[in-house]
């Protein structure tokens, strides 16, 4: 992730925004006497929010891990030669869930 000062960001605003959107990479903007901020495309922001929601509770995590494991076990071709389900690799230690 690239970093730029607020002054440089302001001077080249349009160029940075176009690059952020085209490359789909966030940009850190540092500021004097203030905390840094991250600028990212709206699509990336929505994706982060969706991921955060999906992993926001223990029940959601368990549900989605079970679905990924099912896909990993499926490994079947839906339409021969056109579309296949790619195998997913899920390790039991990827996300540890504390029982509480």
The whole-number pLDDT of residue 95 equals 46
pLDDT of residue 66: 82
Question: What mean pLDDT comes out for the span 19-29?
Answer: 95
Topology, domain 2-41:
YefM-like fold (3.40.1620)
Given a cut of 50, whether residue 97 has pLDDT beyond it is no
pLDDT at 22 over 60: yes
- Residue 82: DSSP 8-state: T
Q: For the chain, which residues make up each domain, given as ranges?
A: 2-41, 55-100
Q: Which residue has the tokens 């990336």?
A: 44
Share above pLDDT 90 across residues of the chain, in percent, rounded to a whole number: 45
Angle at 54 between CA 50 and CA 57, to 5 degrees: 135
Whether residue 24 contacts residue 44, with contact meaning beta carbons closer than 8 Å, is answered with yes
pTM of this prediction?
A: 0.59
Q: What is the pLDDT of residue 88?
A: 43
């Amino acid at each position: 992730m690239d970093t730029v000062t607020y002054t440089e960001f302001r001077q080249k605003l349009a160029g940075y925004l176009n690059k952020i959107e085209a490359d789909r990479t966030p940009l850190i903007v540092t500021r004097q006497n203030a905390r840094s901020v991250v600028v990212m495309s709206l699509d990336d922001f929505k994706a982060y929010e969706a991921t955060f929601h999906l992993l926001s509770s223990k029940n959601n995590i368990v549900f989605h891990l079970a679905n990924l494991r099912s896909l990993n076990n499926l490994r079947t071709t839906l339409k021969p030669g056109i579309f296949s389900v790619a195998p997913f690799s899920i390790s039991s230690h990827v996300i540890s869930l504390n029982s509480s």
